[in-house]
Amino acid sequence: MDTSSRNWRWARKAQLLVASALLLLQNSLVISAEASSVHIVYMGDKIYQNPQTTKRYHHKILSSLLGSKEAAKNSILYSYKHGFSGFAARLTKYQAEAIAKFPGVVSVIPNGIHKLHTTRSWDFIGIHHSTSKTSFSGSNLGEGTIIGVIDTGIWPESPSFNDEAMGQIPSRWKGVCQGGEHFNSSNCNKKIIGARWFMKGITDEAKKLLQGNNTSEYLSARDAVGHGTHTASTAAGYFVGNANYRGLASGLARGGAPLAHLAIYKACWDFPIGDCTDADILKAFDKAIHDGVDVLTVSLGFAIPLYSYIDQRDAIAIGSFHATAKGITVVCSAGNSGPLSQTVTNTAPWIITVGSTTIDRAFPATITLGNNRTVWGQSIDTGKHNLGSVGLTYSERIALDPSDNLAKDCQSGSLNATMAAGKIVLCFSLSDQQDIVSASLTVKEAGGVGLVYAQYHEDGLDQCGLFPCIKVDYEVGTQILTYVRRSRFPTASLSFPKTVIGKWISPRVASFSSRGPSSMSPTVLKPDIAAPGVDILAAFPPKGTSKSSGFAFLSGTSMSCPHVAGIAALIKSKHPTWSPAAIRSALVTTGESVGVNTLKLHLYI
């Protein structure tokens, strides 16, 4: 081979190397310019028993993708190393597609957002607990079990979390009481034995809101929303006498398993972009498995359409699968998209999915019309009003612009303030975009002194807080409207609500409770079971007001879920060797008909 030929070949190789380098540089510039987002690299069961070895394995995989240990360290958010294997990291679309092809990677999941599925109930379903300390030894109150709560945190000062008469913390417990804003180790006790919080999965924009002055959220396990406090006390709250909400539903409050311990996993936050991310939820599951909980209550989920189990993008299904495999009973809410069929969520076969029912308690309030006729509605507004008989009008009659329909359901700014001043206003709900609270704001701004809100039957009551608000159905609303149209000077007076128990004996599925069959697996019957979830009184943060009783009414399958979790803890306490499948079987296949209208639990606990 002559010299000129060799030189030509070396020159050609040099050109190819330069071209390859330029191509790689171009690709790297494109990748670096591409926005990264949180992805979950799910790897199934652990291949290493040592969590630190698993963590190093995750870093090694990420380093090989990103080119350096430093880049991997900056990218990774969580290493899932206790209950299953995987990690959450900030990746570009290109990087996510590349790592999905790595050996051992089951799937790469974009970081999705889950929504929260926002006392008499225990007596109603037949779970009776004595408050006498002398009878504790002969009763099953869930002693020795640990209920994990994946939610918005907890308000530890609530009397529902008093550790009086609580047993010693189980020796198997491996959890911690993680400190943070307005929360330290002293906030844990023998009732709240552990608390952790997770927020690495939420977006940078949301973090700025949380860390700024635009939110009341706490960067700790402390609950700013109230949802987690409510569900935790429903599942395992201690006895609290004379619990009530502004005088309504007064009585003895307690959870289903009053002597069970609580482990808190705050993965849901008070910000407008979303509630809970997949990355944080999976880390909560991972830590709960490590810590040693017996039962998990998870009152959150996706909306439809559902992800396929094969698709592997349902973080709750993945986390609950590995928890169940470790002997932990996982209870989830069914969703609040009823009464439409095929709207049930959390439908994985290994999850106990809970729908919502009513109980035998109501809060009736009277509307006395100027013709001395009395009609009934419901309310939880107990403010110090003394209206007597005042003017009554229909919102459409006092529309600011009669050419539109905004005044019919009292949309914001739709009422004539001169004509509304000093009167009770009747509004009719026309869409899902308006509710009694929003309508009350409109009436208040226009100078009204009370609201009667007519709507299609929907279970659950909301407090207006501004002035008297009474919810009625369309039939009663039409009767009131007929009086207004026929009377020259219509008037009305509104009474305070009162608590009535026992009039409505039979429970029925709540209007909002998501219905089956499952849109993913119609042959797998879901929900598995239903429990009280309408106007449930439970612990709630006082939120800086001296008038708060520390209890509030909430409705939703979120409230039903901890009822079943509490009962699961009772069964586990009595039968510690029973598997999640055995506990689920006991729940869904046993019951006892009492009388004509009631069906009460009759469990072997």
Place of tokens 């069970």: 260
pLDDT at 23 (0 to 100): 40
- Count the neighbouring beta carbons within 10 Å of the beta carbon of residue 68: 11
Nearest in space to 152 (alpha carbons), one of 230, 233, 213, 214: 230
pLDDT band of 547, cuts 50, 70, 90: low
pLDDT at 135 (0 to 100): 39
pLDDT at 132 (0 to 100): 46
pLDDT at 49 > cutoff 50: yes
pLDDT at 505 (0 to 100): 62
* DSSP3 helix / strand / coil % (the chain, rounded to 5): 30, 25, 45
Nearest in space to 290 (alpha carbons), one of 317, 252, 318, 263: 263
CA dist 167 and 190 (Å) reads 7
CA dist 293 and 326 (Å) reads 10
Residue-wise pLDDT for 53-75, tens only, equals 999 999 999 999 999 999 999 99
Q: What mean pLDDT is predicted for residues 315-323?
A: 94
pLDDT at 580 > cutoff 60: yes
Angle at 311 between CA 309 and CA 316, to 5 degrees: 50
Q: Are 193 and 169 in contact (CB under 8 A)?
A: yes
C-alpha of 424 from chain center: 35
Angle at 558 between CA 201 and CA 529, to 5 degrees: 120
pLDDT band of 30, cuts 50, 70, 90: very low
Instruction: Kindly report which listed range (38-52, 217-231, 516-530) carries the lowest average pLDDT score.
Output: 516-530
Angle at 425 between CA 405 and CA 419, to 5 degrees: 80
Task: Give helix 278-291 / helix 315-325 axis angle, nearest 10°.
Answer: 10
Hey, is 345 helix, strand or coil? coil
pLDDT band of 508, cuts 50, 70, 90: confident
pLDDT at 519 > cutoff 60: yes
pLDDT band of 31, cuts 50, 70, 90: very low
3-state secondary structure 147-195: EEEEECCECCCCHHHCCCCCCCCCCCCCCCECCECCECHHHCCCCEEEE
pLDDT at 314 (0 to 100): 87
- Which range is most confident: 285-289, 362-366, 547-551? 285-289
CA dist 33 and 93 (Å) reads 11
pLDDT at 250 (0 to 100): 85
3-state secondary structure 564-589: HHHHHHHHHHHCCCCCHHHHHHHHHH
Nearest in space to 111 (alpha carbons), one of 204, 226, 30: 204
pLDDT at 44 (0 to 100): 93
Q: What mean pLDDT is predicted for residues 586-603?
A: 63
pLDDT at 304 (0 to 100): 74
- Which range is most confident: 6-10, 493-497, 520-524? 493-497
Instruction: Tell me which of 420 and 114 has the higher pLDDT.
Output: 420
Residue-wise pLDDT for 134-173, tens only, equals 334 446 789 999 999 999 999 999 999 999 889 999 999 9
pLDDT band of 482, cuts 50, 70, 90: very high
pLDDT band of 494, cuts 50, 70, 90: very high
pLDDT at 133 (0 to 100): 45
Q: Catalytic residue among 39, 82, 117, 151, which?
A: 151
158 an active-site residue?
A: no
Q: Are 252 and 240 in contact (CB under 8 A)?
A: yes
CA dist 525 and 570 (Å) reads 24
Q: What mean pLDDT is predicted for residues 414-426?
A: 93
Instruction: Kindly report which listed range (230-234, 276-280, 465-469, 473-477) carries the lowest average pLDDT score.
Output: 465-469
Instruction: Kindly report which listed range (269-278, 426-435, 510-519, 584-593) carries the lowest average pLDDT score.
Output: 269-278
pLDDT at 462 > cutoff 90: no
Burial class (CB in 10 A: 0-12, 13-18, 19+), 462: buried
CA dist 198 and 133 (Å) reads 37
pLDDT at 126 (0 to 100): 55
- Count the neighbouring beta carbons within 10 Å of the beta carbon of residue 586: 19
Burial class (CB in 10 A: 0-12, 13-18, 19+), 488: exposed
The DSSP output letter for 398 is G
Hey, is 476 helix, strand or coil? helix
pLDDT at 601 (0 to 100): 52
pLDDT at 29 (0 to 100): 42
Hey, is 73 helix, strand or coil? helix
pLDDT at 370 > cutoff 50: yes
Q: What mean pLDDT is predicted for residues 250-259?
A: 90
pLDDT band of 532, cuts 50, 70, 90: very high
Backbone φ and ψ for 252, nearest 5 degrees, come out as -90, 120
pLDDT at 350 > cutoff 90: yes
Instruction: Kindly report which listed range (86-100, 277-291, 491-505, 573-587) carries the lowest average pLDDT score.
Output: 491-505
Q: Catalytic residue among 59, 129, 227, 322, which?
A: 227
CA dist 357 and 335 (Å) reads 13
Backbone φ and ψ for 592, nearest 5 degrees, come out as -140, 125
pLDDT at 469 (0 to 100): 92
151 an active-site residue?
A: yes
Rg of the chain over all Cα atoms, to the nearest angstrom:
28
Q: What mean pLDDT is predicted for residues 322-347?
A: 94
pLDDT at 15 > cutoff 80: no
385 an active-site residue?
A: no
> Positive or negative, the Cα torsion across 316, 318, 324, 328?
negative
pLDDT at 173 (0 to 100): 97
Instruction: Tell me which of 465 and 355 has the higher pLDDT.
Output: 355
Q: Catalytic residue among 558, 560, 563, 573, which?
A: 558
The DSSP output letter for 66 is H
CA dist 250 and 244 (Å) reads 4
Question: Whole-number mean pLDDT of the chain?
Answer: 85
pLDDT at 325 (0 to 100): 96
* H helix count then E strand count, the chain: 14, 30
pLDDT at 240 > cutoff 80: yes
Instruction: Determine what percent of the chain is predicted with pLDDT higher than 70.
Output: 83
Identify residue 552 by its one-letter amino acid code: A
